[in-house]
Amino acid sequence: MPKKDAAKEAPIRKTTEELILDFGKGKYSAIPMAALWAKELKKREENRHLTPAELLDLALREVLGGSVDWKDLKKAASGAAEVDAPAKAS
pTM of the predicted structure, to 2 decimals: 0.66
So where are the chain's domains?
16-89
Coil vs helix vs strand at 11: coil
Q: Calculate Rg over the CA atoms of the chain.
A: 17
pLDDT in tens, 21-32: 777 777 777 888
Q: Please enumerate in sequence order all residues whose Cβ is within 8 A of that of 14, keeping only pairs 6 or more positions apart, or say none.
A: 22
pLDDT in tens, 34-62: 888 899 989 889 988 999 999 998 998 88
